[in-house]
Amino acid sequence: CERQEGQPLKQRLLVVANRLPVSAVRRGEDSWQLEISVGGLVSALLGVKEFDARWIGWAGVNVPDEIGQKALTKALAEKRCIPVFLDEEIVHQYYNGYCNNILWPLFHYLGLPQEDRLATTRSFQSQFDAYKRANQMFADVVNQHYEEGDVVWCHDYHLMFLPKCLKEYNSNMKVGWFLHTPFPSSEIHRTLPSRSELLRSVLAADLVGFHTYDYARHFVSACTRILGLEGTPEGVEDQGKLTRVAAFPIGIDSDRFVRALEIPQVQEHMKELKERFAGRKVMLGVDRLDMIKGIPQKILAFEKFLEENPNWRDKVVLLQIAVPTRTDVPEYQKLTSQVHEIVGRINGRFGTLTAVPIHHLDRSLDFHALCALYAVTDVALVTSLRDGMNLVSYEFVACQASKKGVLILSEFAGAAQSLGAGAILVNPWNITEVAASIGYALNMPADEREKRHQHNFMYVTTHTSQEWAATFVSELNDTIVEAQLRTRQ
């Protein structure tokens, strides 16, 4: 623990995630520029201030030379970040391959890769080996920086092998693991060739956390059905050792969004947007350009709505922010072309000389511009085919205190369990239903909007990322104490 002048003791926390909250761009032999990374995990953890935290992860860049590595390590230290250096080959096999081409689609119910099954099967083992090697490299860095009493919090599907590696170094280390994606039904997980090894590695942790009760239940069933272990209400038991398994729904730093709306720069952005889209209702989608986000389905639903409601054609605009991601993976490249093709077709079909129905941007927005956009939006569309939680829905709600816009939310996003009562829930695969929901949202009376918004606003501003992290870490500390008591009995 660290005592800062006049401050209470803060628990030391080592956050380990594949990606650091900042990505590095090289500007010279020994100079680096750091940029905030995108994604729900980063957005949630940046708001967590009550720990003396260090972040260990990959800076998203290959740094083969020692001068570059030293300079980057120094630049990152100022942000309390510690880099894990991964070379190009390992990034290709571990990150593009095993993480993003195998685990990510599988955990989102898109199955194992279908094309060229034989090639996939042949390369599967080498990708899994690279995955384990990469996890071991993360473990080495954690071990170098670990001090007795630290809590080590491992994040996400990239690091399922990490708890085991860490406990092999030091069985007294307090290790928690949290998954930011869904954990699928055991019937899906059992198709994975390395299913048992991964489950056993995760079980080496003291506490295993998920966004929802369903994901936790799927994990426990997988351990029961695949490993033959006993599932208890507390977790999973293996030869007298209990791994506690529970749901810890993540949140956002809602104050940061609420306060941002007071900033003059944000208000200026809002004014510009209102002028630009005067006389039209604004619909908004903000997603990483990922197949799980259901962007093509969303746009097709919007097309259907325009088709069926000619009176709305010049009165509504869809702004779709699609942040490029994992651009080295062929599936993501295909998706980008597919989305561009659909947007082009619809704009050609319904656009006029002065206006188009869809504004599609392949890039991220800075925080101020994003808050302004959330605040002027009438209807937000979150139509993920599967999503661990989806914090865009939370961010939208946090920025809607005055407008009280409507959230259309996929029932397959974890957020449906927390914001379901205030949002319009949809099956994103059912384009007719989503189109009808767009009509319902655009015509919703003010009192109904107000009621729905209040429900969600209350939830988002009370279930914050700070509370999420504090609950997880405190439960991890309790889990250790309980285990010690059990051993003494």
Question: Is 325 a binder of ligand G6P (CB under 6 A)?
Answer: yes
CA-nearest of 137, 405, 126, 418 to 251 is: 418
Q: Which amino acid is at 470?
A: A
Question: Is 184 a binder of ligand G6P (CB under 6 A)?
Answer: no
> Which of the 8 DSSP states describes residue 482?
H
Residue pair 466/253 in contact by the 8 Å Cβ criterion: yes
Residue pair 54/84 in contact by the 8 Å Cβ criterion: no
| Residue 378 vs 387, nearer CB to ligand G6P | 387
Question: Is 384 a binder of ligand G6P (CB under 6 A)?
Answer: no
Decide: helix, strand or coil at residue 317.
strand
Question: Is 39 a binder of ligand G6P (CB under 6 A)?
Answer: yes
Q: How far is the CB of 18 from ligand G6P (least distance, A)?
A: 6
For ligand G6P, the binding residue among 20, 41, 295, 398 (CB under 6 A) is 41
Q: How far is the CB of 28 from ligand G6P (least distance, A)?
A: 25
Question: Is 209 a binder of ligand G6P (CB under 6 A)?
Answer: no
What angle is formed at CA 401 by the lines to CA 396 and CA 403, rounded to 5 degrees?
85
Residue pair 195/222 in contact by the 8 Å Cβ criterion: yes
> Which one of 35-43, 168-176, 229-237, 424-432 is the stretch in contact with ligand G6P (CB under 6 A)?
35-43
Question: Contacts with ligand G6P: how many residues (CB under 6 A)?
Answer: 10
**For residues 272-281, b (16+ Cβ closer than 10 Å) or e, as one string?**
ebeeebeeeb
> Which one of 37-45, 82-90, 165-173, 311-319 is the stretch in contact with ligand G6P (CB under 6 A)?
37-45
Question: Is 113 a binder of ligand G6P (CB under 6 A)?
Answer: no
Q: Is 391 exposed, middle or buried (0-12, 13-18, 19+ CB in 10 A)?
A: buried
Residue pair 284/371 in contact by the 8 Å Cβ criterion: no
Residue pair 59/77 in contact by the 8 Å Cβ criterion: no
Length of the chain: 489
How far apart CA 171 and CA 358 sit, in angstroms, is 55
**How far is the CA of 321 from the CAs of 12, 267, 318, 369, 400, in angstroms?**
37, 20, 10, 12, 18
| Residue 364 vs 464, nearer CB to ligand G6P | 364
| Residue 180 vs 298, nearer CB to ligand G6P | 180
How far apart CA 393 and CA 407 sit, in angstroms, is 7
Q: How far is the CB of 288 from ligand G6P (least distance, A)?
A: 6
Q: How far is the CB of 40 from ligand G6P (least distance, A)?
A: 4
Question: Is 326 a binder of ligand G6P (CB under 6 A)?
Answer: yes
Question: Is 156 a binder of ligand G6P (CB under 6 A)?
Answer: yes
| Residue 312 vs 367, nearer CB to ligand G6P | 367
| Residue 181 vs 297, nearer CB to ligand G6P | 181
| Residue 20 vs 423, nearer CB to ligand G6P | 20
Question: Is 449 a binder of ligand G6P (CB under 6 A)?
Answer: no
Binning the chain into helix, strand and coil, the percentages to the nearest 5 are 50, 20, 30
For ligand G6P, the binding residue among 40, 47, 182, 251 (CB under 6 A) is 40
N-term to C-term CA, the chain:
29
Which tokens in the block code for residue 156?
């996400």
For ligand G6P, the binding residue among 164, 180, 189, 298 (CB under 6 A) is 180
Tell me which residue has its CB nearest to ligand G6P: 39
| Residue 11 vs 325, nearer CB to ligand G6P | 325
| Residue 41 vs 273, nearer CB to ligand G6P | 41
Give the footprint of ligand G6P on this chain (CB under 6 A). Answer: 18-19, 39-41, 156, 180-181, 325-326
